[in-house]
Amino acid sequence: MSDAPSAAAAGTFDLDGETTVNRLGFGAMRLCGEGVVGAPDDEENAREVARAAVDHGVDFLDTADSYGPGTSERLLREAGVVDDAVVATKAGLLRDADGDWLPHGDPDYVRNQLLASRDRLGVDTIDLYQFHRPDPETPFADSVAAFAQLRDEGHVRHVGLSNVTVEQLDEAREQVPVATVQNRYNVADREDEAVLRACEDAGIGFVPWFPLAAGDLGAAGGALDDVAEAHDATRQQVALAWLLDYSDVTLPIPGTSSVDHLRENVAAAELSLTDAEVARLAAAGE
């Protein structure tokens, strides 16, 4: 792996077949304070991490109105990276003082949060607007209809979903083209395998959140260590490389608050696993 790794080595994916991004992105949740509430202790460091991501070829940045709330979006704008990348944000979760994540998919709230997100990001149109989580108190179709309307009105280029089932994905696609699905997934957590396969069949980007499981990669750990040793890499780099190699539609978004850790993550784009290694890791994580 090179001294100046680039996310471009991961290859590209076309959102809705028209907006091209490098497949290894950056998740901006960790730019916030403890518990993803409020500002970090060192805001300039957070901005520097965002700038370093773009400097290393990352052109797909994932955030949400609930990160902070609002902090992550603001820091991306202040870092000066919004115009250099496709920025994906989300609406559909409220926060409280305890740091809880509370589903809120009311259409009026979604439309209100679009205005807030546009202001914090400093944009007229949001590149990719994602429904963060279905709300049991709001019909799923009503929430999706709000996102579809925002797209029709030109406020949003692409619409994405998060934390959905195959059935919900199919239901949403009856109302609006779905560019991405963002569900929890990593080499040791394959519960949403069926959703990934549905995205493959439809040419939809699959954004695996929690791609490194905060370092706890469970039963796959032994296989990860063996493959990492063979490539002179870390187990986290192998876990990211596996996501990229396992499916052509995956768009991993590892997050960090460290520039050094960011560079390590980006270097995973240059790691090429053999078919046998990909299969071994897949089996270990099942």
Q: Which residues are catalytic?
A: 67
User: Are 186 and 192 in contact, with CB atoms under 8 Å apart?
Assistant: no
Interior CA angle at 80 toward 108 and 74, to 5°? 35
123: amino acid identity, one letter: V
Give the whole-angstrom CA distance, residue 277 versus residue 275.
5
Helix (H) or strand (E) run with residue 117 in it: helix 107-121
DSSP 29-49: GGGSSGGGBS--S-HHHHHHH
> In sequence order, what are the residues at sequence separation of 6 or more whose Cβ sits closer than 8 angstroms to the Cβ of residue 251?
13, 21, 23, 24, 25, 60, 180, 205, 206, 207, 208
Locus of tokens 């032994």: 222
Q: Which of 79, 106, 81 is nearest to 92 (CA)?
A: 106
**What residue has token string 């994932």?**
62
Q: Quote the CA–CA distance of 286 and 281 in Å, as a whole number.
A: 9
- Directed axis angle between helix 235-246 and helix 275-285, to 10°? 100
CB 228 within 8 A of CB 186: no
- Token pair belonging to 242: 């596996």
